[in-house]
Every structure is written in C-alpha cells, then in structure tokens.
Structure 1
Amino acid sequence: MKQLTINIIYLFMALNLFACKPAKKGEQLKLDWQPGVNAPKHYPIETIFGSFSNGERGCGITTGICQYGGWGLGGKEMSSGHFVPNKLTLGWFSYAEDKFYKGEFDLPADTMQALFKQGFTGREGTHFRYNYLIVNAYPKGGVALWMDVGGSRIVEIAHFQGEEMEYNWKSMYPYTTDTRDELNEFVMQQAKGSLEYIAQHGITQEPFKTIFRQRYSYTIALDSVQHNKPLYIMAEFFNGEMDTMHGEELEHNFFKTKAVTKYISFQWVKDRVVYYGKVYFEPKEMFDLFAKMSAECPDEAYVMHLKPNYNTRKLTVTLSSSTQELEIQQTGKIGKSINQDDANM
C-alpha cells in the first residue's frame, strides 16, 4: 500500500483558514455576497448575459470574458448582492460546441436562506457568512450552482438545464477579421489540452451532471486520535463541495452524505506537536472503490480512516464498513512541514 508521509510542525500555528468577513457572535448578519461564473477547464465558455434576482433587486454577472478556470471554481467579481435570490438568468457561448445557451432558473430560496442564516463557525468561535454564489456552465447546457463560505465550506445548491438559443455571434467580436471557426479554434488551443481531452472523451455532460454527484454515507476520521485533538480536517469532493471540519463536526460531519473525496488536508496534535498532511486521490480508483463498497455493503455507513504510524511517520488511508476494509492508494502531493517558533499551546 502506498502511504502518505506525515509531516511535523511545531505547535504555534496562526491558522488563517477563513478568508471572509466575520460577524460578531449574536449580531444579526447582513447579506453581502459576490457572484462568480466559470466552466470546466476543457470546455471554455463566455457569458453573454447573467444575473441573480429576487423580483425586486438584482446582481449582475460579468459578461464578455472567456472562462475555463476549472470545475467548481468561480471567477470572483466586483458586483455584490444583499438579498436572497430566487432566480438565476444566464446566457452563454460554448466554444467547444460552437453553440449558444440560455436559461432562467428558479432557485431553492428557502435552502439558500437557511444556509445564509446558519453560516459557518470557525475554530475560535468566530462566525462567518456565505459570501460567494458560484455558477459553472458545462457541456450541452448544464449549469451548476454552489454557495461558498470564503473557502471554508462549499455546498452544492442545484443543477439546471439550459436550452440552445440563436444569437448574433458577430456582436461578441464586432471588430475581428477572423471567422467564427478561427476564433473558436484559437480559444480551444488556449485552453491547453482541451482538444486532446475532447478527442478522447467527447463533449458530454458527464462526469459533471451525474458521476461526480453520486453521494455516499460516510465520515472522515483520524484513527487513534481523540476528537478534541485534531485541529481540523479539510476535504474537497469531486462534485465541487468542500468542508472544513473541527470540534464536534470531526465526529458528526456537516455533510451527512458526501460525494467522493478528491483531496484531504488535516492537522492534529499529539504530545504537544502538531502533525500535518495532505493527500490527493486518483479519480478512477476512488469511484471504483466507493462503487464496490456500495455494492457489497449497500445498507451500511462507511468511515474513511486516516491512520498515522508515528514510528515510520507514514499514514495509510482506508475505507471501512463493519464487515470489510478497502485500501486506498495515495496519489498526488505530499504535505510539507511548516516550521514556526516554539510556543506554548
């Protein structure tokens, strides 16, 4: 089994996990969020028009910029909203398909309002609000929406289906002398690897619409470490969600069901030393592993165990049910130590 090296850092850590504006505990939170729009890295888009609204107020989405930053990411914008939206309007051009799409989508406003109210409480007890609404457009008219607490927690809100529309392509490039085909080819070449990726995988809504969104009942835990000792576990998931768990949530995770894990970063304390590690997971192995566990243990919850070995400074990762334990092969980068001055904790 491949193993993840555990890296040691000293106790004194000034963790800056939550890059968003705090509100005083007990203070009524005022909504202040920014929209962001993006697309999977191999399927560039350009937004033609877009806004969030609630019938009385609106918040515009930036147009005229080619976007292919990556699945689940959002191009943060200067506009801001101070209301709970109930509608998303979007029109865009898909360079990979050479097609225009549009949609007017009803949002689950009650769910969004509950998340705005709930917010996120950091390890020091400071409360943070959801401050980004992230939109991604993917092939064949697909649209995804997430709410983001400044990089601490990202929650999938909904997926929508747009429809093709007729639009004057020349209005996007009124001064160009290139043809539509020439400009499309130029953009696709700028999105490095896209032509090769599409030649292999085609233009499809998968894995974004269904495969990435499969959910399972499992928790993530550090074995042999008391729940008050880990500082945090941060997990990113293939469906674009993310969670930073600490305190009670290390035992009772915020997401009761989760998509398949893409990346984990974590810190914990043992004998007055803070240990740190991170691991990226290989997609095919992880989806095969969860499918196997689901088929063989359909009515059980699982635990993804991070198991430290302090003698070898290695860490193994397994997915376990009450009846079996499956090994996960670590891939990707190894976490590096961050050295700080000695300090009491």
Structure 2
Amino acid sequence: MEEKFKWTGTLSAPNEYPMQAYYGELIADDYQFPFSDIWGIVGGGWGEPGKHGGGTDTPVKVPHTLEFTWYSLVENKFYAGHWELDTKKITQLFNEGFSQTYFDSVKKGTYETFVIGLGPKGKLVLWLYGDGHQVEVGSFQGKEINITKDEAYDKFKYVFEPQYREDIISDPGIVKPIVTEKIKEDGYPDPQLYEIFREKLNWSPKVILPAGSTLEKRNFYLANGERESTLQDNSAVTLPYKKRAVPYLFYFQWKNKEGKKQSSQVVFTGNPNYIKDASKVYNGTFLPLDFEKTDMYKIFGGLNKDLPTDIIIDISSGTKAEVSMEQNGKKYPIKQMDQYVIQNK
C-alpha cells in the first residue's frame, strides 16, 4: 500500500520579479492541487512561503508530476513546463520529518506544504516546507511560450488590458518602495542569481556562547530558499558538515548561566537598518536586496566547495556577534551584517 500524507501548496517569487500563475497542478494518483489566476500577484521574496490554498482533510499520495504556466510581469513573458517529480525523495522527507518545539516540549514535526518558486527566465524551484524547515525537492527550467488575449481563458483576459502590467509593477502595495528604489539604483537582479544561489559548500555552523550558557535553538535561512531549524540536545553547539547553500540569516536562542533566555539574529547585508526596514518589505526573513554584494556571498563563492568549512558565530560577549568563515586553517572575517541581541527574556 502506497503511503499517504496531508499536504497543500503555495507560491513564491522574488521581491523584484512579481509573477502571476496562469495554470498549474501538482498531480498525484488520487489528488490534484490546482493553481490559477485566483492566486493573484505572487512576490514576497524568493523561497518565502506565501498564502496556503486549501489542501486535503484526508491523507493522499505524494504528487508525481508538476505542470505550470506563469506570467512574468517584469519580462512581459509567459513560461510553461511539465515535470516528473522525485516521489521517493519526497516520501522519505515526509516520513523523516524533523524535531520541533511545542510549548517547550520536543515533538516530531513533518513537512506539509509544497512551495513553488516562480523565477525570471523560466526558472522554477519546488521546495517542501514545514514549521521553519524548507528543503528543495526539484529545480526545473520552463520554456517561453506565447499566449495572446484571444487565446487566454476568460478570467485571465484582464491581464492584457493596456497599462495593467505597468500599474502592477508601479503599485507600492505590490512592489514595495524600498524594492523599487533599489531597482532604480542598481537595476533588476541578474536572473542567473537564482541558479547561482543553489551552489553549495560543505559547511557547519559553530556557535560560541557566553560562558556557562546552553544553546537551545538555532535557525538559519539560505539564499537558495532552504531553511534549517534545530533544537539542541546534549548542549552540542555544532552540526555535522553538510553541503549547504550560502546563508543570509542566523537566529540563535540560548540560556545564560542564570537560566534566563537570550536570543541573537544576524543578517548578512550592507544595510545597517535591515532589521528595522524589514517590516517595509516582509517580516524580517526576506533575502536582503543587496545580498550578492556582501562579503559573505563573495567569500562563500570563492572557497573550495568540498573542503570542510566552519561558519563561526561568536556571541561570547552576549551583546554583539563576530562572524567569520574558516577553511583549511585560514580565517575569513565577515564584516557586512546587521544584528540584534535580546537579553533576559
């Protein structure tokens, strides 16, 4: 008997490249999850899980096929594709799940949402998301296609009206002013970035806490849309080396020697007001708009991809983190970041 799970779907797109679903389906033997224009304009940040669209009350099989057609407003182009999915990998991820907190207790959680990332130049990525964890399960290339107003189904014809595209791109409620300003200054991001962000390095995070402290939780967000959230056991402060993409955000929570909780967030950006400005774009976890210009991104890209590498976050002072990368005995300080520490929670 094939295994079944409860799951739903959602959409994602870069802040700078708003997208619109034309037609799509995640197809399982016993269920199809649909996408269409009713999802509206998609943005919010690459890899950011958007609103959920329904789902199943009863478990169903994992999807084996993804079909999708979407409209890239900035490019004024349609892309489409039909792809077979790795059902073995998806099933394994559903079964393995992960540890999660629930009112200070630890329980097993699992993935529940397929996140479809719609990118420029026909880039499409599929992730599985669940409670702070997100892992890539497929990367695909769509083909540019032509759809005219006469050919489009009735509920999509409004997209071809004069000024529709320009009105959407210039709408501050859709493309936030901080994003529009960045585009005016630097232009649109190179579409190839969303593939480059998938490059991985064999690294592990190493946390140095204040004396007598115990690490409780660690989250990190990666530029390829993946996320890891781990709880501590046996007061270990390192994770096994693993091929991971370049990180843009770390969050740590620990108990100090007095037993009080503290937390620290570090974001790799040249914007010293990133955390303060984050609410203007999303909720504080979006990929920094200048990330490809940061020393974290540049140093990461220049290292040997196979050698074990430590990303060291030293918050032993309890007030400010110092970050560096270390590979093959050589240390690389990371200077461009914004951060905060919350004490005595």
Give the TM-score normalised by structure 1: 0.78
CA distance in 2, matches of 1:219, 1:179: 48
Deviation per CA, 1:56-108, whole angstroms, max 9, x where unpaired? 42111253311122110132223215321111111111111111121111111
Name 2:253's counterpart in structure 1.
Answer: 267
Query: 1:258 offset after TM fit, Å?
Result: 0.9
| Contact 1:97–1:203 (8 Å) recurs in 2 | no
**Aligned to 2:242, what secondary structure does the other structure show?**
coil
**Aligned to 1:61, what secondary structure does the other structure show?**
strand
Q: Which amino acid in 2 is paired with 1:130? A: Y
**Aligned to 1:262, what secondary structure does the other structure show?**
strand
Name 2:214's counterpart in structure 1.
Answer: 229
Decide whether aligned partners of structure 1 residues 198 and 204 sit closer, same or farther in structure 2, where only a CA change above 3 A counts: farther
Name 1:215's counterpart in structure 2.
Answer: 200
| Contact 1:221–1:304 (8 Å) recurs in 2 | yes
Query: Structure 1: where are the runs of 5+ without partners?
Result: 1-28, 340-345
Query: 1:37 offset after TM fit, Å?
Result: 1.1
**Residue from 165, 188, 207 that aligns with 2:145:** 165
Q: Which amino acid in 2 is paired with 1:96? A: V
CA distance in 2, matches of 1:175, 1:330: 44
Name 1:8's counterpart in structure 2.
Answer: none
Name 1:309's counterpart in structure 2.
Answer: 316
| Contact 1:43–1:94 (8 Å) recurs in 2 | yes
Name 2:121's counterpart in structure 1.
Answer: 140
Decide whether aligned partners of structure 1 residues 173 and 60 sit closer, same or farther in structure 2, where only a CA change above 3 A counts: closer
Q: How does 1:166-245 map to 2 (within 5 A)?
A: 166-169=146-149, 171=152, 180-190=161-171, 191-192=175-176, 193-194=179-180, 197=183, 200-202=186-188, 204-209=190-195, 211-223=196-208, 229-245=214-230
Query: 1:179 offset after TM fit, Å?
Result: 6.2
**Aligned to 2:129, what secondary structure does the other structure show?**
strand
| Contact 1:232–1:250 (8 Å) recurs in 2 | no
Q: Which amino acid in 2 is paired with 1:63? A: D
| Contact 2:211–2:316 (8 Å) recurs in 1 | no
Query: 1:338 offset after TM fit, Å?
Result: 6.4
Deviation per CA, 1:197-246, whole angstroms, max 9, x where unpaired? 2884457422102x211100111121267999210111001111111122
Query: 1:30 offset after TM fit, Å?
Result: 5.6
CA distance in 2, matches of 1:176, 1:322: 58
What is the root-mean-square deviation of aligned Cα atoms in Å?
Answer: 2.9
Name 2:283's counterpart in structure 1.
Answer: none
Deviation per CA, 1:163-209, whole angstroms, max 9, x where unpaired? 12232336477698996451111111122445962884457422102
Query: 1:128 offset after TM fit, Å?
Result: 1.0
CA distance in 1, matches of 2:215, 2:19: 41
Tell me the number of residue pairs that the alignment of Structure 1 and Structure 2 aligns. Answer: 304
Name 2:71's counterpart in structure 1.
Answer: 93
Q: Which amino acid in 2 is paired with 1:133? A: F
| Contact 1:308–1:315 (8 Å) recurs in 2 | yes
**Residue from 74, 79, 93 that aligns with 2:49:** 74
Query: 1:117 offset after TM fit, Å?
Result: 0.5
CA distance in 1, matches of 2:27, 2:148: 25
Query: 1:116 offset after TM fit, Å?
Result: 0.5
**Residue from 305, 323, 326 that aligns with 1:320:** 326
**Aligned to 1:110, what secondary structure does the other structure show?**
helix
CA distance in 2, matches of 1:147, 1:250: 26
| Contact 2:212–2:256 (8 Å) recurs in 1 | no
| Contact 2:22–2:156 (8 Å) recurs in 1 | no
Deviation per CA, 1:35-59, whole angstroms, max 9, x where unpaired? 0012111111111111111244211
Q: Bigger CA drift: 66-75 or 259-268?
A: 66-75
Name 2:91's counterpart in structure 1.
Answer: 113
Question: Are 1:276 and 2:260 matched, yes or no?
Answer: no
Query: 1:132 offset after TM fit, Å?
Result: 0.9
Query: 1:335 offset after TM fit, Å?
Result: 3.4
Q: Which amino acid in 2 is paired with 1:32? A: K
Decide whether aligned partners of structure 1 residues 42 and 86 sit closer, same or farther in structure 2, where only a CA change above 3 A counts: same
**Whose radius of gyration is greater, 1 or 2?**
1
Query: Structure 2: where are the runs of 5+ without partners?
Result: 270-290
Decide whether aligned partners of structure 1 residues 202 and 224 sit closer, same or farther in structure 2, where only a CA change above 3 A counts: closer
Name 1:293's counterpart in structure 2.
Answer: 303
CA distance in 1, matches of 2:322, 2:158: 57
Decide whether aligned partners of structure 1 residues 144 and 338 sit closer, same or farther in structure 2, where only a CA change above 3 A counts: farther
CA distance in 1, matches of 2:296, 2:242: 19
Name 1:20's counterpart in structure 2.
Answer: none
**Residue from 9, 13, 18 that aligns with 1:39:** 13
Give the TM-score normalised by structure 2: 0.78
Report the identity percentage. 21
CA distance in 1, matches of 2:83, 2:184: 28
